[in-house]
Structure 1
Amino acid sequence: MADSADPREFDPRQGLRFGRIPITNVQPVLEDGKFPAKGIRGADVRVSAVVFREGHDVLGATALLFAPDGSEAQRARMVPGAKGSDAWHGVVTPAYEGNWSFAVEGWTDLYATWAHNAQVKINADVDVDVMLAEGELLLGKAAKEAKATAPEAAKVFKQAARTLGDSSLNTNDRLAAGTDKTVRAAVVHFPLRDLVTRSAAFPLLVERDAAGRGAWYEFFPRSEGATRHPETGEWTSGNFRTASHRLPAVAAMGFDVVYLPPIHPIGVINRKGPNNSLVAGPADPGSPWAIGSADGGHDAIHPDLGSLTDFAAFVQAANDLDLEVALDLALQCAPDHPWATAHPEWFTTRVDGTIAYAENPPKKYQDIYPLNFDNDPAGLGTEILRIVRLWVERGVRIFRVDNPHTKPVWFWEWLIGTINAETPDVVFLAEAFTRPAMMAALGRAGFQQSYSYFTWRNTKEELEEYLVHVSRESAGYFRPNFFVNTPDILTEYLQYGGPAAFKIRAILAAMSSPLWGMYAGYELYEHVARPGSEENIDNEKYQYKDRDFAAAEAAGKSLSPFVTLLNTIRRAHPALLDLQNLSLHESSDPATLVFSKHKVIAATATVPERKDTIIVVVNVDPHSMREGEVNLDLDALELDGLSPDGTFIVDELITGATWNWGKKNYFRLDAHMEPAHILHIRR
C-alpha cells in the first residue's frame, strides 16, 4: 500500500479551474486567448468579468494591464455592473504599440465588509464592542501596511483606528470616525484586500492610430483632372499629377486617409461599359477592379495614370499634407491578366474548359476572374506576398482589401501576420459586407478594421442596437469603419432623404465611430441611383466623372464645410476617437437618437487629468422636425458636480450656442435646418 501524503503538504485546490475568488467570463478575450484582442495606442479598453464568492462578504475587482515587457503598467479599480449579475467592468489604457496583456483580480474587500457589518449591527445594538474592536484592528494594521507606499492614507487609517478604540467617546462618534468620507477616500487609494485571486493573463495587440482612428476619403485618380473634348465627347483621363491637385481640398476637409481604387492596368476582354453594360466602346475606361492586361498586372500602374515616379510624387504630396494613401488590394484578375495565361491553376476551370468569372447574384462580373486558393496555395500565396511587399516598399502603409470574405480566412491570417511581423504599421481594411461569423473571423485573422452594417442601420432602434454591438460586444475583434457611401452603395435613405439625409448620416458616422469614410460626390449630395439598383447612376466604376467641387461650394450646394466642421470637432475631442466609450441615453421621441462619448485623459507632467465628454442628439428622420425630452444618464457623464440647481454648462459645437443642461432637457430639431446637437460639457 502506498504511503499516505503528508497532510501538511496537501492543498485540495491544486489543479482546479476555480481560484479562491471565482473569476469567469473575462472580456475582451477571443477563443480563450487564442487570438489577441485589439487595442489602439492611447485608446481605452473596456475590461469586464464575472467575479463572485460564497457568503456575504463584499468583493472588489481590479483590471491589470501588462506592458510588452511583462511589467505591470496599470491597475484600474473595477465597478460593479447590474445588481445581481456579479459583473464588474473597468477601463485600462495602453500607452504605445506592442503585444500587451491584461488580467482581472478579484478580492474580498475587508474594509467594505467591516463597514457594512458594523453599521448594521451597531444600529441594531448587536456586537457593538466587537465591531468597534474589529475596525480598530483592521485600520491599525492598514496604517502599518500603507506607511511606506501611501503615507497620507496611513495617517488617515491611524487616526481612525485610534478613535475607534477610544472608549471615552460615544459609540456613534467612534463608528463615524471609522466610516467617514476621509477614510473611504483613503481606502480607494489603498484598498484593504484579502484572498486576492488573479485570472489568467490574456493577449492584447495594441496598434497605431491609423488602425483604429481616422477619416477616409475615396476618389478615382482618373476622374480628377479628366477632360472631355467638347466636339467629340471623348475623354482624356486624369492622372496622378492632376489628381494631386485634389489633395489640398481633401486635407482641408480634415481627412486623414485618401483611398484609391485599383490603379493597375484594366483588362480589355469583356470590359464593362457605362452603368455596368456588357458592351464597352473603344473609349470606355472599364472597371478598375478588372485588373490586368497586356500592360501588366497587380505590380503595374495603368499607363493613363502615369509612372511609378508619378505615383511616388503623389504619395509624397499626400504625406506632405498629413494624408496617408490607402491602396486597393483586389485579389482578382481580368481575363487578359498575365496570371491567366502563366498560371491557369490559380483559377477555377469549368467543365467546358473556360475559367469561371465572378458572380454575386444577381450581380455578374464577366470582366473578372476570381482566384482559387486551393489548387496551388503555396505558389499563389508567394506571389501575392510579393505584390504586397512591393507596394509597401513603394510607400503604401494602408490597404483596403476588396471582398476578403471570398478568400480563405487562413490565407489572411498568414498574409497579414507575415506583413505585420515585417512592418507592424501596415493596416488592412476589410471591405466585407457579409455574414457576421465571417466578419468576426476576418477580424480575428488580423484585419485591423472593416466596413460595417452601419450603412443600412437607419432607424433609432437599429442604430441603438448596432452602436451597442460595435462599441461593447464586438469591440475586442472588430473595428468598424462607418463609410456613409461607396461607388456600389447608395442606400434608399440617401436616394430619397434629400440633403438632410446626407448631413444626418455624416453626423452619425463621424461622431459615433473613431473610423468613418465617404466616397467623392457625397459632399455634392449625389443621390440618383441606377434604376433597380443601390448603385449611383453613371457609376464612376465604369466611366469618368467630372465634378466641380469649388463651384458647388461657392453656390452653397456642398456639404464640404459641414464635413470640415465634423472632422475639426473630432480632432479637438479625444473622446470621439475611442470606440468603447459610447453610452446611450433616453429620448422621448422615437426618431431622435441620443448618445455620449466620454474619456478621462490622464495627467502628464505639465497637464492635470481632464475629462472630455460629447453628447450627440440627432434627428434620424430626414423628412421632419422632431421635438421631445432627453433624459440623460448622469453617471455615464461622470460629472464632478452639478450647480445648486442641478445643471451644468454645455457648448453647442455646431452653432456656437451655450446652454445650461441637466438630467432632463427639451430639444427641437428640424432636419432641414440643423438635425442635431453636438454638445461638449464644459468642465
Structure 2
Amino acid sequence: MSTSQPSPKVPAAAAPATASGDGAVSRPGTTAPVPPSAVPAAAAAAAGRRAAAAPAADTPASEAAKAPGADPREGLRFGRIPVTNVQPVIEGGAFPAKGIRGADVRVSAVVFRDGHDVLGATAILFAPDGSEAQRAAMAPGAKGTDSWEGVLTPAAEGSWSFAVEGWTDLYATWAHNAQVKINAGVDEDVMLAEGALLLGNAAREAKAAAPEQAKIFKQAARTLGDTSLNTNDRLAAGTGKEVRAAVVRHPLRDLVTRSEKYPLLVERDAAGRGAWYEFFPRSEGARRHPETGEWTSGNFRTAAHRLPAVAAMGFDVVYLPPIHPIGTINRKGPNNSLVAGPADPGSPWAIGSADGGHDAIHPDLGTEADFAAFVEAASELDLEVALDLALQCAPDHPWAAAHPEWFTTRVDGTIAYAENPPKKYQDIYPLNFDNDPAGLSAEILRIVRLWVERGVRIFRVDNPHTKPVWFWEWLIGTINAERPDVVFLAEAFTRPAMMAALGRAGFQQSYSYFTWRNTKEELEEYLVHVSRESAGYFRPNFFVNTPDILTEYLQYGGPAAFKIRAILAAMSSPLWGMYAGYELYEHVARPGSEENIDNEKYEYKDRDFAAAEAAGKSLAPFITLLNGIRRAHPALLDLQNLSLHESTDEATLVFSKHKAVAATDTEPARKDTIIVVINVDPHSMREGEVILDLDALHLDGLSPDGTFIVDDLVTGATWNWGKRNYFRLDAHMEPAHILHIRR
C-alpha cells in the first residue's frame, strides 16, 4: 500500500483459511479478501501459524490495544507484506490515472518483507462495476530496489481501478531452500517431504480451478515422496520445467497482502491516440485578385475541399484555429506589425468584435449551417474536428464593455493587454478569474456546451497555463460528467509543474517539450520521461510545428530535418500533429523570431499542395506512409511500451515499441514489435552498430544462429538481425529504419 495512504483494516487471523461472505478466502495478514483459487490450502499446512482473534474492524487502534488479546496489527499502515509506492497514483488517488481502451498501463510498486522467503507480486485490474477483470504477474525491477512492474490492459472506457498484491511465493521459497540444502547434504529427507506436502496440497486445491496444473503437481508430489528413488531424481521431479511452468500459471501464494484500490479513468481513443492536422479555414480557398491584390477569404465550404487530402494522408483530427469574429481595435498587420491595413484579416486569436464573441462565427467563414456541413463532411471522411478554445478577447469583444470585471484594470483605468515578454499582444485582453469567478466560469461553461451542441468533441485550449488550475478541474470535470467523449488538449508550453498540474486537473493531452528535443541525449531522456515517469497523468501530443513555432532545427536542417522530426513524432508517440505547410518544407523564419515569415496568423496563405506533390517537392507521400504504418501496427498507438536500445553512434537513436495484441472474432492473438533506428543529425550520414535488448523485444525464439527476421517498412528491405547489427543511415536519403519483427 502507498505509505502516504491510510491502511485498510487487517482482518482477524485464524489458523485455517476461512471463507468470507462473498466466498473469497482471507489469509492471516492480508489487507483484503482474495479469490479462493489464489491461495492454495498448502499455504496453511506449510505455515502452521496461529493468531489471536482480532478486535472488530471498526475498533480504533488505541482502544484495540487496551483490549485483552488485541491484535497488535490492527489500524497500522503496513500489512503483513508491505506494498508501497504503488504507481500510477495521482495525488494519493485524488485524481485518476489516465488510460485508453486497449492500451497497456504500467503498474509498479515496492514490495518487500522480513526474512528471506521469496516474494511475488500481482497487479489486479477492477472493472467499473467493481469486478476483477485481469490479473497480471509483476516482474522484479533492478536488483536491490524491491521494485516490481506489470502491465494491465483495460478493455473498455469507464472508471476502472487497480491494486497490487504482494505475497510469499511458497514454491519458489521451497525450491530455493531445497536446492541449497540438498546440494550441501543437509536435511535432504525433510526438504523433499516438505516439497511433497506442498505440491500435494496444491494439487488438491487446484483440482477444480486448474485441473491440468493439478495433475502436474500431483505427479511431482508423488515422485518427491517416493523414497525408492535417489535424492537427485526426486528433487528434479519437483523442480523441473513442467512444474515451474505450472506454478507460473497457478502460483502457490501465502500471506497475500493487497494495497488499496486506486482509480484509473479509461477514455476513448481520441483522448490518447491520433494524428492531428492544423489548417486555417480562411486560407483554404482564399484567392488574391491579380490586379488589386485584395484577398477574398476562404470559408467552411471552400475549406471542406481540403478535407479529402487531409484524410488521404491518414490524419484523424483536423484542428481549426479560432473561427470567431476578429477584433478591429489594435488589429495586427502582416508579420505581427502594429499597423493593419483595411484588408488585413487580423489574428484569429484576437477574438470578438461587433459581430459577436466566442459563441459567434466569423461572417467571412459562413453560418452555423456552413459549420455544421463542414463537421459532417469531415465525419464522412472519418475525421474529427477540433476547435480552438482561446479564453481571451479583443478590445472590442462584447465582454469588454458588458463585463469589465472579467479583465485586469491598470491604475490609469485601461484594461491590460496580454504580454509574454518579449512578445506583446496589444490586440488581446487576457481574462482575470479572480474578480468574478462564478460569473466568468458560468459564461465559459455556456460557451463550451454550445459548441458541443454544434458537434465539437475535441477542444485545443490556447494558453491554459494563464488561467487558474482550479478552473480547468471544474470545467473539464463538469463537461466530462455530461459528455465523457469530449477531449481537451492543453496548448501549454510552460513550466513543468504547471504542465503536470493541468494533466492532473483533467486535460486529456498536452503539447510537449518534444518540439525542442533534438539530440540523441535529449530525446532519450524525454522519451523515458513521457513514456514511464509522467504517463499516468500526462499524454504528450508531439506536434512538429505550429503557427508560432518554427525551430532552428527546421530552419536550418533542410528537408531531411522535416522528415526526421515527422518520423520521431509519429513513431514514438500515439499522439502527433503538424501544421499546414510542414509538408511543403516551409522553413524561412521572421528575423529574430522562431516563427514563419509572413505568418498565417496575420494574413492569408495560398498554398498549391497538389503542384508541390506533382513536382516531388512535398513530404505528403511520406507522411501518408507514416500514418499508414501507425494504423497497421498497434504497438505504435500505446504510450507506455517504449524501450530504448543502444547504438555506437552519438547521433543515432534506437527505440522499440511492443504490444501483445489480444485475439478478436476475426484475428488470432499476436505480438507486434517495431524497432526504429534514426539518424537525428539532418546534415550527415551516420553509421555504427545497434545493440538490442532482446528481452524488450519479446521474441518467441531465435534462429539457431541467434537471429530473427525484420522487414523495413520504409524501403521494403528484409534482414536477419540479432543482438548486434550494423547500420548506415544517410539523412538526405533515408534517415531511419522502421523495422517490424516478423513473427
Report the secondary structure of 1:42's partner residue: coil
Q: Match for 1:386 among 437, 446, 457?
A: 446
Q: What's the offset of the Cα at 1:124? A: 1.0
1:130 corresponds to 2:205: no
Partner Cα distance (1:604, 1:89) in 2: 27
Partner of residue 314, structure 1: 374
Q: What's the offset of the Cα at 1:607? A: 3.7
After TM superposition, list the pairs within 5 Å mapping 1:35-434 onto structure 2.
Answer: 35-434=95-494
Q: What's the offset of the Cα at 1:5? A: 5.7
Report the secondary structure of 1:303's partner residue: coil
Residue 465 of structure 2 aligns to which amino acid in structure 1?
A: H
Does structure 1 retain, via aligned residues, the 8 Å contact 2:300–2:371?
A: yes
Partner of residue 568, structure 1: 628
Partner Cα distance (1:583, 1:352) in 2: 57
After TM superposition, list the pairs within 5 Å mapping 1:620-635 onto structure 2.
Answer: 620-635=680-695
Q: What's the offset of the Cα at 1:489? A: 0.2
Partner Cα distance (1:231, 1:278) in 2: 26
Structure 1 vs Structure 2: percent identity of aligned residues? 90
Partner Cα distance (1:204, 1:542) in 2: 43
Report the secondary structure of 2:413's partner residue: coil
Does structure 1 retain, via aligned residues, the 8 Å contact 2:64–2:74?
A: no
Partner of residue 522, structure 2: 462
Q: What's the offset of the Cα at 1:602? A: 2.0
Q: What's the offset of the Cα at 1:605? A: 5.2
Partner Cα distance (1:638, 1:86) in 2: 23
1:26 corresponds to 2:86: yes
Report the secondary structure of 2:611's partner residue: helix
- The total of aligned residue pairs comes to 681
Q: What's the offset of the Cα at 1:15? A: 0.5
Partner Cα distance (2:86, 2:663) in 1: 28
Residue 342 of structure 2 aligns to which amino acid in structure 1?
A: P
Structure 2 CA distance for partners of 1:565 and 1:22, relative to 1, 3 Å: same
Structure 2 CA distance for partners of 1:451 and 1:5, relative to 1, 3 Å: closer
Structure 2 CA distance for partners of 1:222 and 1:606, relative to 1, 3 Å: closer
Residue 623 of structure 2 aligns to which amino acid in structure 1?
A: V
Report the secondary structure of 2:364's partner residue: helix
Partner of residue 679, structure 1: 739
Does structure 1 retain, via aligned residues, the 8 Å contact 2:692–2:723?
A: yes
Q: What's the offset of the Cα at 1:647? A: 0.2
After TM superposition, list the pairs within 5 Å mapping 1:435-514 onto structure 2.
Answer: 435-514=495-574
Residue 75 of structure 1 aligns to which amino acid in structure 2?
A: R
1:613 corresponds to 2:666: no
Report the secondary structure of 2:196's partner residue: helix
Q: What's the offset of the Cα at 1:603? A: 2.9
Partner of residue 704, structure 2: 644
Q: What's the offset of the Cα at 1:65? A: 0.3
Report the secondary structure of 2:504's partner residue: helix
Partner Cα distance (2:667, 2:291) in 1: 64
Residue 680 of structure 2 aligns to which amino acid in structure 1?
A: V
Partner Cα distance (2:636, 2:521) in 1: 22
Residue 572 of structure 1 aligns to which amino acid in structure 2?
A: A
Task: Deviation per CA, 1:134-177: give whole Å up to 9, x if none.
Answer: 00000000000100100000000000000000111111111110
Q: Identify unmatched segments of 5+ residues in structure 2.
A: 1-62
Partner of residue 578, structure 1: 638
Q: What's the offset of the Cα at 1:534? A: 0.0
Task: Deviation per CA, 1:336-375: give whole Å up to 9, x if none.
Answer: 0000011111111101010000000000000000000011
Report the secondary structure of 1:298's partner residue: coil
Partner Cα distance (2:110, 2:406) in 1: 49
Report the secondary structure of 1:627's partner residue: strand
Partner Cα distance (2:444, 2:568) in 1: 37
Structure 2 CA distance for partners of 1:194 and 1:410, relative to 1, 3 Å: same
Q: What's the offset of the Cα at 1:4? A: 9.5
Give the 4+ runs in structure 1 shifted more than 6 A. none
Q: What's the offset of the Cα at 1:186? A: 0.4
Q: What's the offset of the Cα at 1:678? A: 0.2
Q: What's the offset of the Cα at 1:205? A: 0.6
Partner Cα distance (1:30, 1:122) in 2: 48
Partner Cα distance (1:321, 1:3) in 2: 66
Report the secondary structure of 1:480's partner residue: coil
Partner Cα distance (1:234, 1:212) in 2: 42
Residue 402 of structure 2 aligns to which amino acid in structure 1?
A: A
Partner Cα distance (2:660, 2:689) in 1: 27
Partner Cα distance (2:365, 2:120) in 1: 62
Structure 2 CA distance for partners of 1:440 and 1:6, relative to 1, 3 Å: closer
Partner Cα distance (1:344, 1:85) in 2: 57
Structure 2 CA distance for partners of 1:246 and 1:665, relative to 1, 3 Å: same
> Superposition RMSD on alpha carbons, in Å?
1.0
Partner Cα distance (1:25, 1:490) in 2: 41
1:656 corresponds to 2:716: yes
Residue 403 of structure 2 aligns to which amino acid in structure 1?
A: H
